[in-house]
Structure 1
Amino acid sequence: MHHHPPASLAAVILSSLPFLLTGPPVTAHNITTILATFPDFSTFNHYLTITHLANEINTRNTITVCAVNNAAMSDLVNKHLSVYAMKNVLSLHVLLDYFGAKKLHEITNGNALTATMFQATGTPSGSSGFVNITDLKGGKVGFGSIDSGKTDATFVKTLHENAYNISVIHISSVLQSSEAEAPTSGPAVVNIISLMSTHGCKNFADALLASDAVNTYTGNIEGGLTIFCPKDDAFKQFQPKFKNLTVGGKQSLLEYHGVPVYQSLSMLRSSNGLMNTLATDGASKYDFTVQNDGQDVTIMTSIVTSRIVGTLTDKQPLVIFTIDKVLMPKELFKKVVSLAPVPAPEADAPTTSETPKSLKNKHKSPPAPASLESPADAPNDASADQEADSNNVVEIKGFKIGAMVLSFWFAYLVM
């Protein structure tokens, strides 16, 4: 006789089939956020960011990051590797398999050979991009690149584990690899001046070329650079204000249009908020706010709001956007507000509850809004306003004098 499971149990089993077949849902991780809670790993975290390796780690699942602390990173930093060679070395520390603390101490046959993100790039020859993990005496676990042929570091402790998704562990030293440290030629340096000049931003490019700001721009390309380039019409309208700036002011304004990290359009849409620029020197200096409205992205200063209208190039680590207005920082420009006419002094105000007819409907339209233009650019209506105010005072005084005469005449009749 066959026994069938209750209907409710069968329903539970059927509802669990997708989970059983596909496994638990993958939880997104952010290696920068994880390491930010461990100040002693700030140098390692910093170089993951500027080499853009952090972004690549965040898109992968089932990985192990072998982090080294600030003291261990000092020897590597002192080698002054290019940003590309540094990325190769750090890629060697990202294993393409999950190794939590338990798995490390249960390595089959005492050792395991695992591929790394460096090997996945196709740059290393042979097996140079692999790391050997060895179960050592005394319960220690060793790590060494195949390139070095020896144990370079040992397991210290676990920093973060999200089972079978990401493991972040502390190892004692940087893994050695002559291939990873070898000089690496990065992508061809883009001539940003030529690119902007031939794509509708010649005025801005010419101003940049004539300033020391151009060195700031080119010096930041390798580590990541985002440029917001005003279109020719926008910069032409701004030219009179630009000419009035000092040499230092011009350089600051030009550097204000660059951000020292790579930010694609999709990244800008998902990272609204304050952003530092190449001109930033200290907190709350020369920053602006990024805000998106659907697919549109705007750059807002306290003086002007500009919109991204196009992309000249987007090839990591460089992206150049075109914008429809020149970005004006509050450190160089002040918002000038057009004031409404000043009302008559209270001493001359009517004493009765009713308002004289001549004062009603005096201003049929609301006060003028705040203006960004300089006083010299605004229409001069001061004389007309002053004349109107003078007439109001005369009428008010006449009303008060008339009331006084009537009150005396009434008193005389009563007597």
Structure 2
Amino acid sequence: MAYLRRVTTALVLTLHLVFSFSNAHNITKILAKDPSFSTFNHYLSATHLADEINRRQTITVLAVDNAAMSSILSKGYSLYTIRNILSLHVLVDYFGTKKLHQITDGSTSTASMFQSTGSATGTSGYVNITDIKGGKVAFGVRDDDNQLTARYISSIFEKPYNISVLHISQVLTSPEAEAPTASPSDLILTSILEKQGCKSFSDILKSTGADKTFQETVDGGLTVFCPSDTAVGKFMPKFKALSPANKTALVLYHGMPVYQSLQMLRSGNGAVSTLATEGDNKFDFTVQNDGEDVTLETDVVTAKVMGTLKDQEPLIVYKIDQVLLPREIYKAVKKTAQAPKSSKHKPKNLVADGPGADAPSDDDEVADDKNGAVSSMISRMSITVTMVIVFGVWLM
């Protein structure tokens, strides 16, 4: 009975740790404690920067008060331009009060979220931090003639080395961040793809008519996985062999009807729906992450995310190294089976391009676990049970 109580106590402690890690911080609640930051807090939420801040494990937020916010609000910027400007105030490293005054050589440069999301070019999204005479600290944007335009006032909240929220005297700006930003409806996806080295994928988007579906989805949120021109070129013979319906489905399979930042992809595993998902036709794939690397597993191929081509919420475009092949069209690969050493008869075509094309064949090894929820839950339970056993043994 005593052992059972120990195990129960360990389980409670473990669950507390699990939930603590999954909810590391909440920038909205931190800033809500002081009404003088209500405007800054409001626009972090309106631009969805708050969600991005909360997902990151290490972050510094340079907050400005309501009076300072008026300097940019009076200029009539669009919400998307305000997002770019406020992105300069989110540093992707930890700088607490102590670290500010221990900067090597008195000055350092660090990337802001404006730089890390690919919205900035060159070094225009880097922020200079300088420990000047008298123990004062100043901030400036490298794209703004390296001028130190804002000074450190006080620390609002610090949780080393997780999150630091610092009060600075005025808004950080740069010509690039303040440049007019197109609204989602003005973003022409095919043009973006063609300019970013994805012309081949853009061409098949237009040839199937799927570009209209992608474009109509942008306003509500769209994530696009664009295979490189090399990958599309190698795949074209197989693509040409598909029926018109399967060509369209395969292209739609490369889009998700929701905005998913790279940090969001890195922070969660599991099956996701695509623009091709409809009724009983799942057309999903599994997002997996290993540290900084993100892969997309379809049961037929595994593609790697190579980089971000465009990130302007609600649209984000990634480049991937392979064409995504859905199991509804191609035979799934049996992961546990070894490839035969030799074969006299090779299949003429792996394409299930016929009446049964919307479903995998009986001998295909396909996971069907409610969009990955079961496997994800089992993984979490395994971790929890392991921790419980360790705690239980320790307490005995």
TM-score range, shorter chain: 0.3 to 0.5
Which structure has the larger Rg over C-alpha atoms?
1
Q: State the TM-score, normalizing by the size of structure 1.
A: 0.40
Q: State the TM-score, normalizing by the size of structure 2.
A: 0.41
Q: Which has the higher contact order (CA 8 A, sep 6+)?
A: 2
